[in-house]
């Protein structure tokens, strides 16, 4: 099995990951799945925790600090140099284009794609958007969630809330914010789903492109790692992600525009719904379509182009 530089230490493959609790949970899931699929003890997949520039930024919206690449630059470097073989990324945080030499081998079976509403007061607190008192401060760093909240409830206050999942939950408990939104997927992976006051319906609160999906990245030339990764990846998730990522690629790579997109498979067709919001929530442009599974990426590009053509000039992006 071993052949890459990173495999000389006796590991079947070295898994590279960020160090946040969510990233570690995702890396452990990958390790477990690799172990089961290949019949190799889990400890032979060493974890290498890599600190990224993005981990150091706590005070600003990421959209202001330089975007998604901040969370992957150092990991990409380690992978290109052969220090790690298989890297694990939240699909949602992965840039549209990977550096030359790296490819997405696939995606693990997708988790719950919905956003969770988390409210002060826990089980005794509000259990829906409609229950939130006017003026409640909703903290989130996501432009999509900010714009959706403003659209659904213009009478609420939106404020910036950054940090990892645990930090955000504790700021709700401390009462600094009345509510926040987090991905159900992340809560589930961390065993924290009991903090969710509600899981929001996909049609009312369209998820981010790739939400709930874990991407497995390998070196393009590393046939062994690619084969191993393919063994744990889920084809349906890959098809849905192809549609969603193509939609996003047409609209915006910079993550300065509130965008949502979600694909599902119905029989032998892939259905995609996507939208762009004005940041203040006053306007939304939606697109929808369906295609055979083999045309998922084309569908995404077409729905994206259709939405783009209908965006009011000079407002978005
Ligand atoms: N940007 C942070 C991030 N990236 C992926 C997830 C959740 C897990 C997922 O979507 O797979 C989160 C936290 C959140 O949005 O609650």
CATH of the domain at 217: 3.40.190.10
Query: Count of domains in the chain?
Result: 3
In-domain check, residue 282: yes
Position 304 in a domain: yes
Same domain, 120 and 268: no
Q: What is the DSSP string of 242-292?
A: HHHHHHHHHH-SSS-S-EEEEEEEETTEEEEEEEEE-TTSS-EEEEEEEEE
Domain harbouring 290, CATH code: 3.30.160.40
Mutate to test the pocket of ligand 1, among 88, 90, 94, 195 (most ligand atoms within 8 A of CB): 90
Residues with active-site annotation: 93
Q: Are residues 94 and 227 in the same domain?
A: yes
Rounded CA-CA distance 76/54 in Å is: 13
Domain membership of residue 32 (yes or no) is yes
Which ligand 1 atom is the nearest neighbour of the CA of 211? 10
Instruction: Name the least confident of 136-140, 252-256, 277-281.
Output: 252-256
Which of 140, 175, 199 is the last residue in one of the domains?
Answer: 199
134 Cα: distance to centroid of ligand 1 (angstroms): 27
The token duo for 101 is 């030499």
Residue 186 CA to ligand 1 centre (angstroms):
6
Q: Is 254 within a domain? A: yes
> What is the ipTM for the molecules in this complex?
0.96
**Averaged pLDDT, 123-132:** 94
pLDDT of residue 53: 80
Cα separation, 82 vs 105, in Å, equals 16
Whether residues 303 and 283 share a domain: the answer is yes
* Atom 11 (ligand 1) nearest CA: 212
**Residues at CB less than 6 angstroms from ligand 1:** 90, 92-93, 165, 182-183, 185-186, 211-212
Least confident piece of the model among 1-5, 120-124, 142-146, 219-223: 1-5
Residue 253 lies inside a defined structural domain of this protein: yes
Q: What is the pTM of this model?
A: 0.93
Residues 266 and 290 in one domain: yes
pLDDT band at 1 (very low <50, low <70, confident <90, very high): very low
pLDDT digits (tens, 9 = 90+) for 10-27: 789 999 999 999 999 999
pLDDT of 110 reads 98
Nearest Cα residue to atom 8 of ligand 1: 186
* pLDDT category of residue 48 using cuts at 50, 70 and 90: very high
Question: Is residue 103 domain-shared with residue 221, that is, in the same domain?
Answer: yes
In a domain, 207, yes or no: no
| Mean pLDDT value across residues 242-266 | 90
- Segment 271-287, tens digit of pLDDT: 999 999 999 999 999 99
Indicate the top mutation candidate among 108, 185, 262 to test ligand 1's pocket, ranked by most ligand atoms within 8 A of CB: 185
Which residues touch 168 (CB under 8 Å, ≥6 apart)? 118, 139, 161, 180, 182
CA of 107 from ligand 1 middle (Å) equals 15
Secondary structure string (H, E, C) spanning 39-62:
CCCHHHEEEEECCCHHHHCCCCCH
Task: Provide the strand spans (E) within the chain.
Answer: 13-17, 45-49, 86-90, 102-107, 115-119, 137-139, 157-159, 179-183, 198-199, 214-219, 259-266, 269-277, 284-292
Tokens encoding 273: 């719904």
- Mean pLDDT of all residues belonging to the chain: 92
CA of 5 to the centre of ligand 1 (A): 31
User: Are 156 and 134 contacting, i.e. CB atoms less than 8 angstroms apart?
Assistant: yes
Indicate whether 122 and 193 sit together in one domain.
yes
What does the pLDDT read at residue 169?
95
Among 20, 22, 111, the mutation site with the greatest number of ligand 1 atoms within 8 A of its Cβ is: 22
User: pLDDT per residue over 161-175, tens digit each?
Assistant: 998 999 999 999 999
Shared domain for 102 and 226, answered yes or no, is yes
Q: Has residue 146 got a pLDDT over 90?
A: yes
């Amino acid at each position: 099995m071993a052949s890459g530089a990173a495999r000389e230490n006796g590991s079947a493959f070295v898994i590279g990951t960020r160090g946040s609790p969510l990233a570690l949970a995702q890396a452990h899931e990958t390790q477990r799945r690799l172990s089961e699929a290949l019949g190799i003890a889990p400890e032979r997949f060493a974890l290498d925790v890599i600190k990224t520039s993005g981990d150091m930024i706590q005070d600003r919206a990421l959209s202001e600090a330089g975007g998604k690449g901040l969370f992957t630059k150092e990991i990409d470097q380690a992978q290109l140099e052969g220090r790690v073989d298989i890297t694990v990324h939240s699909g949602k945080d992965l840039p549209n284009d990977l550096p030359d030499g790296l490819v997405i081998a696939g995606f693990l079976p997708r988790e719950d794609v919905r956003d969770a509403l988390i409210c002060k007061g826990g089980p005794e607190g509000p259990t829906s958007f409609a229950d939130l008192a006017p003026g409640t401060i909703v903290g989130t760093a996501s432009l999509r969630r900010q714009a959706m909240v403003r659209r659904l409830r213009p009478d609420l206050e939106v404020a910036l809330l950054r940090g990892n999942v645990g930090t955000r939950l504790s700021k709700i408990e401390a009462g600094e914010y009345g509510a926040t939104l987090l991905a159900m997927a992340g809560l589930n992976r961390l065993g924290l789903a009991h903090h969710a006051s509600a899981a929001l319906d996909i049609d009312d609160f369209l998820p981010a492109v790739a939400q709930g999906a874990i991407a497995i990245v390998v070196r393009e030339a590393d046939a062994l790692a690619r084969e191993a990764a393919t063994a744990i990846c889920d084809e349906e998730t890959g098809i849905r992600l192809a549609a969603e990522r193509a939609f996003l690629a047409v609209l915006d790579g910079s993550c300065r525009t509130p965008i949502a997109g979600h694909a599902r498979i119905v029989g032998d067709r892939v259905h995609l719904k996507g939208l762009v919001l004005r940041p203040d929530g006053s306007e939304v442009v939606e697109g929808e379509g369906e295609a055979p599974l083999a045309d998922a990426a084309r569908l995404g590009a077409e729905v994206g182009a259709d939405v783009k053509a209908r965006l009011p000039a000079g407002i978005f992006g």
